[in-house]
Every structure is written in structure tokens, then in C-alpha cells.
Structure 1
């Protein structure tokens, strides 16, 4: 069972604690400095993080490691309330040389189609497009 404990930190800031760590969530009023990520941005971070963990692990097992991996996630919000994400685009950016592109693509496919539970949740309410970029060093 997953469980977090949320504690109000004043203003619009909350601390979310889990056995694995703590995250600060905020939605500052105009003119206030943000002390954390907004809840919807955390969702996009969770999507990228879930897939990134899968891919790094899979690439290591496949002996197809890369120098670096960055994932950009962008999404539009619907106009009507509750505003939810639509048209999500995940761009995987691989950095290094001598890429084993077939293995990298297999790792992406396994993450996107099978292993990433956050992706599975997102696909219950929106489409997620996947893009891949290779940056040779």
C-alpha cells in the first residue's frame, strides 16, 4: 500500500512525506516566491522519472549504457474544469557516442508499453506521444 503524509507549511505550501523522501508542493499567490513544485508539474515529473528509472536500468542490463539521459515532458491543459493534461509529449534525449539505437528503442518501448506504471495511469486520460533524440559527443 502506498502512503504519504501531507503537512501544511503555511501559505499555499505543503510538505509531502513518504518513506522514500520529502517533496515540497506549492502554488504561490501572485508576488510570492515559490517554495516547491505545483501538483500538476509533479505529475509530469513522475511520468519522466518513472520512465527514466526503467530505461537506465534496462540499458545497463542490455549493456547499452549512455553518457546522459534527459527527458522533456510538455503538455497542454484542457480549458474546462477540472483542468487535466492533454496532448502530452515526452522527448527522450540521449547523450554519448556509439549509440546502440536498437537496444535504446527496445528499452523505451518496454518502459512506455509495459513497465512504467505512471505512463499506464496517464494513458487512462490522455494520449502520450514519444520522441527520441540522439546527441553525439
Structure 2
């Protein structure tokens, strides 16, 4: 895996590109009108995407098709700390579809405890928690 970065302006706007040519813009969140995500923002996006791919894949293998999956990730940082790393991360999974509750919970648990590379890496620095909602019913 390889990423390249180039500066696009006089300030903090950067273009990152992976080996396939996919482009993601990075910017400093303190800019008046940022034109890209902050690096810390990308970490939260990464855990949302990684865990969602796992959940969909696990349920597909079990012959359960989700109608929808939405994930909210909230990161909590220590004010004034340098570096200002995440201390806690909470992930809220909102699943919809004809999926047994136990299977939905198990898919999320497997992702968070075993398969999601991003969460396994981030848990070395931050306490990670999650909650699961299935068809508007809170499961955990």
C-alpha cells in the first residue's frame, strides 16, 4: 500500500492519491473554509468504513442481506493535549433489514473484536465502544 501527497495551495490543502489513483483532499480544520478532511477526521472515517465492510461481508456470508447500514463515529480528544490524540471513540451502527438480532450483534462484535484492522490499530491508543440499532430497535 502506497500513498502520495502533493501540496495544492500556499496553506494546508493537500491532494493524496493511492496506487489506484483514488484522490482524497486533506486540509487543516482551522482554515476558514477547509476544502478537505483533516487527518484525524480520516481516522474516524476509516474505522466507519472498515467496520461497515466487515459487517456487510459477515452478514452476506450468512445469507442475510442488509437493506441499509449507517454508521456514526464520534471521537473524543483531550483538550489542550499535545499531541491531541483520540482518547475515546464511539461507533453507532444503525442496521436495517431482515436480519436476526443475534446475527446483527455478532457481525458487529466480530468486526470490532477481530476483523477491523483500523479499530484494532486505534484501540492501542483509544478506548473504543460501540452500540447497535437494528430496524430502529436498540440492541446494545
Q: Does TM-score exceed 0.5, indicating one fold?
A: yes
Aligned match of 2:27:
26
**Cα separation, 2, equivalents of 1:71 and 1:65:** 17
Aligned match of 2:13:
13
What's the C-alpha RMSD, in Å, of the aligned pairs?
Answer: 1.4
**Cα separation, 1, equivalents of 2:25 and 2:118:** 20
Matched, 1:90 2:88: no
TM value normalised by structure 2:
0.88
Matched, 1:131 2:111: no
TM value normalised by structure 1:
0.90
Matched, 1:54 2:51: no
**Cα separation, 2, equivalents of 1:67 and 1:85:** 32
Q: Secondary structure at the match of 1:68?
A: strand
Matched, 1:3 2:32: no
**Cα separation, 2, equivalents of 1:91 and 1:28:** 24
**Cα separation, 2, equivalents of 1:86 and 1:73:** 13
- Aligned residues of 1:12 and 1:29 also touching (Cα < 8 A): no
**Cα separation, 2, equivalents of 1:4 and 1:120:** 21
**Cα separation, 1, equivalents of 2:14 and 2:82:** 23
- Residue 29 of structure 1 and its aligned partner are, at CA, apart by 4.9
- In the comparison of the two structures, how many residue pairs are matched? 133
**Cα separation, 2, equivalents of 1:45 and 1:114:** 19
Aligned match of 1:81:
82
Unaligned runs of 5+ residues in structure 1 are none
Unaligned runs of 5+ residues in structure 2 are none
